[in-house]
Structure 1
């Protein structure tokens, strides 16, 4: 008799993930999914061990959705025997929110009952979450909660855009995960490393699909040599496991005496334990039998070398490129603040001001009574002995006034306001502040308006001063890791729509600001790549299609630039950073550089009339151009 199998799906965040995930992680996550299996009129869930209730009667309440997993021909008595065996394996002390949780249990059950697996949007959620800077930063906190050694540190320089919200979300999820009376308990010794515990073929196949390089440890709880080599395997998983950016190996442990472990052992021809099998792109590469720690380590290193060969640029001597600073180019000049504020006030007075919630008087009061004292205290010369802090109240009221001004004033009248924010983002208190909504995020507002202006054919709609100050504001945003990540994760397309035409602008100051912004973007990406080569857990912000677009724009801008050596210098440095260590270099960028004749474009900057009457004259710029042309634009 066929019996239906259902998967009950709950959201541990109670809707918070859907509402705030994009703000925290840069991508949309609709729920922190918790699942239970429903079969034979019972709902079974893993938290404080394996618990059984009537369907829909667990402490999680009503499921967010119910997924039909098919039917099973296995009888209830056999399934009860299976659950009794699994209770010895799925104990409360082994629970971990990311590595061994309710979804691990339901995936095993579905594999046993139907031969299938739970949906990928559920079982792949931890991997998706950890691939974000926020996830990488939260991993140590989650590990600490379960009293397990952290499997990796936070991304360098990363801080949550909203620590209070992040903490609230995390506490909500953890408190809901195992049960209403749960407190963290020490993790089992065998689970202290980032090792995937696998008990059925579908889970193993899913593991192989999600890891380019994978190591499978076939063990048995009665095997003495297995217990001896297991700490070595766990240390290797910590050292060589998958890092932020995707490199590293996945490590899986299969106890042939648990669940469908024996079926897996038979499938892969395991006749003795311990046996280690090494996989590359899902295919068996090699195996090691016995508790030989030296051979195990050697094979793991060989697997990683084959999976992630060194980038060809790591063997090049690039002294001119390596001498370049990775620090952002910033526009720090302080204007006469009273003149700027006076100019803005005149624009406000002449604006029609319709359908705006705040009155002109209210907006001007915020600027003169709140913003001006802060800016003068923080940036005026000589510096104030007690500079005023940018409080949340100041920034929120200023942002709301900015939103009103952005709606009321045309771009030519907004540049004084943009210039004030250009200064403000250099203040760490401003760069770490999170606007209450996108509608009052000044950077987002200015960026959108600049993009619209540059798309409009009319020259009057593309005001030079507004574009110039917006580019300088964006360049200054890279003084903050938080703001830089926000731009690259959530506003990359809009920023690119402003950057690309600005690189070709008729005005030299605009081109200089655009080249500076391009340099800052490329320098941040280069930091990630260099860190990745060094084995650090860092953001790389890779996007091959975007890289092709930016490299094309930079080469075209270099070709057209014949007057400013500073612009040529910044664009060449930008190009060097975009090309060096790029994962897309061989397949995407080399053919592109050939089509664009990038090498010839660079070499022309060195000859008469290529950049000024005599070509580039500064020695360090010459060396950089020669190095990029000769070694990267081959």
Structure 2
């Protein structure tokens, strides 16, 4: 008689990950998943060793989601024997939040019971997190939370109760300390409540969790092993055993390569590289070894696209490193553009174009105040709003940015920023766009203050997000052709505001994740505006977007492998951006400066694009990109004589000849 098997899914962050992850990491992470297996009327999970309770009666309460994993033909006695065997493997002192956790255990149990595996959105969470800059920065902190004492040493406070110290270290590593502290504290609290490990009681160490290594897949059954093969392009499997001295010699190198190579090869999400450890004495590890004819340890087997490509026996460190690099080079060959010589493009700085001019702030205050007074009847608490913006906000700008200020005023605190945001939103709802440009220009200048831009990054997607409100108003203006002429100053200052947002990496990352679609709409429309100053500001923002992407891609290709495929949504966005930039270049016949910025933007979008061969190159042919660029060099292409600046001409020629 078969029995149903279910997976109970809980969120250790209690919703904080879903709310804050995009601002912190640039990637949406919907939860810090804890899972347990429910079968034979029991809920089984791994934390302080293997724990068993009645379904739904653990301290986590009601599961966030219940996933049906099928049925098992095994009886309860056989499963209990399996659990008893696994207790010596899934001990409290081996727990690690990233690489050996409750989800590792439930994946093994599901594999044993049904032959299946837990969903990839759960099992791949550590790799997804570590693939972000924020996750990589926090890796050492998380490792320290689970570092084991040396033999005979007394437990340290950090080992016994890591939550406070871990949260403090996380805050220091985060682009937004307050949010990082909130998220890490929440997870740590849940972790301690779940009985996460204290010091090892026998004083022994666990090498696999002592090093700063990447998440290593630990497989104890054939189902979990085959799932990793299926979901990763390149796999390195390490067959080992507790009693094998050569295994212990080469294990640190295996862990070091696992961290370095998964980090540089875009592991996770089903397209990266996985390092698997199979202990022949644990669970059904011997069956996994038997499937591939492994009889001695250490043995390393290399897989590409699920197929075995090479086998290495013994602890030859040099040969092992060489074979890992060969597999990854074959699986993830370097981008074709790494072979191109582009001296003119290399001279183009990727520093953002910023609008740093300080306006006559008294004039700004007077003008904004007159607009408020004229519409006071339609503005809620108009005197208060006026005082906040024309006295407090302007006062801060004077003290922070005016050259005649005797001492630089400190950055505003969160309370002030919230007041300014609420007053800003009140005016955005009450005043027409032609009267809002002084307000937008104030925020344009304020974003040059790192504290302000960090706060805007942290508030992205929340009601406290001021630049989202400004953006929505600008898009509404663009959708009304009759209002565009009078609203030109507002549109211009909005574009300059978003250009200045790229002075801060955290805010830039937030914009390209949470506001990418709306900012792209703003760009595409503004690049074709009839006013040259608006087009110049739009070209500057386009350059900042492309340059920010370029910096990340250059870092990727500095390593041997990558960059790797983007999501379908990202690829579609890149196609839209390339099309818009080419159209803007074709239409620009007045300003050589605009052509220069747009050509550099195009080059940054094309160079090292993960979808260049599959989607961008065919698009360039259809749009006749080469002819569009070369036309700028001819008479009438841009000015009467075409582009004259030698550096700009060289850039146009190289982009058209080598990237198009």
Whether the 8 Å CA contact 1:576–1:628 is kept in 2: the answer is yes
* 2:346 is the alignment partner of 1:328: no
SS in structure 2 at match of 1:327: coil
- Is residue 575 of structure 2 the alignment partner of residue 548 of structure 1? yes
> Aligned residue for 1:55?
55
Distance 1:473 1:66 in 2: 45
Match of 2:236 among 215, 226, 235: 215
Within the candidate set 611, 617, 627, 1:584 is matched to: 611
Q: Is the 8 A contact 1:42 1:54 kept in 2?
A: yes
Normalising by structure 1, we get a TM-score of: 0.92
Aligned to 2:432: 410
Which of 302, 316, 326 is 1:292 aligned to?
316
CA offsets per residue over residues 89-129 of structure 1, 9 Å max, x none? 11112111111111111111111112122233322332333
Determine the C-alpha separation between the residues in 2 that align with 1:490 and 1:559.
Answer: 30
Distance 1:596 1:236, change over 3 A: same
Partner of 2:157: none
**Does the 8 Å CA contact 1:245/1:532 hold for their aligned counterparts?**
no
Q: Bigger CA drift: 395-404 or 45-54? A: 45-54
Deviates more, 1:28-37 or 1:131-140: 131-140
Select which of 612, 618, 621 maps to 2:645: 618
Q: 1:564 to 1:227 in 2, by over 3 A?
A: same
CA distance in 1, matches of 2:644, 2:361: 37
> Counterparts of 2:565 and 2:236 in 1: how far apart (Å)?
27
What is the root-mean-square deviation in Å for CA atoms of aligned residues?
2.6
Task: Give 1:114's aligned residue.
Answer: 114
Alignment CA distance shift 1:182-1:229 (3 Å): closer
Query: Does the CA contact (< 8 Å) of 2:265 and 2:561 recur in 1?
Result: yes
Aligned to 1:188: 206
Partner Cα distance (1:311, 1:428) in 2: 35
Q: CA deviation at 1:54?
A: 3.3
CA distance in 1, matches of 2:321, 2:312: 10
Q: How does 1:238-257 map to 2 (within 5 A)?
A: 238-243=259-264, 245-246=266-267, 249-257=273-281
Counterparts of 1:19-98 in structure 2 under 5 Å?
19-98=19-98
CA 379–242 in structure 1, closer or farther in 2 if over 3 Å, else same: closer
Deviation string 1:576-615 (CA, Å, 9 cap, x unpaired) is 1111111111121111111111111111212222211222
Range moving further from structure 2, 534-543 or 504-513? 534-543
Match of 1:627 in 2: 654
Q: Structure 1 residues 547, 56: CA separation in 2 closer, same or farther (over 3 Å shift)?
A: closer
**Conservation of the 8 A alpha-carbon contact between 1:352 and 1:408:** no
1:129/1:465 Cα in 2 relative to 1: closer, same or farther (>3 Å)? Answer: same
SS at match of 1:400: helix
Which residue matches 1:309? 333
1:562 aligns with 2:589: yes
Task: Provide the rounded CA distance (Å) in 2 between the counterparts of 1:559 and 1:331.
Answer: 26
> Any conservation in 2 of the 1:34–1:102 contact (CA below 8 Å)?
yes
For residue 435 of structure 1, report the CA deviation from its aligned partner.
3.7
Contact kept? 1:70, 1:114, Cα under 8 Å: yes
Q: How far apart, in 1, do the equivalents of 2:449 and 2:595 lie?
A: 30
How far has the Cα of 1:402 moved from its partner?
A: 0.4
The answer to whether the Cα contact below 8 Å between 1:419 and 1:469 also exists between their aligned partners in 2 is: yes
1:283 aligns with 307
Instruction: Figure out how many residues of one structure are paired with residues of the other and give that number.
Output: 624
Matched residue of 2:463: which SS?
helix
- Equivalent-residue separation in structure 2 for 1:389 and 1:235 (angstroms): 42
Q: Does the CA contact (< 8 Å) of 1:525 and 1:541 recur in 2?
A: no
1:367 aligned residue:
389
Deviations along 1:198-228, one digit per CA (max 9) or x if unpaired, are 1112221222233221101112223333333
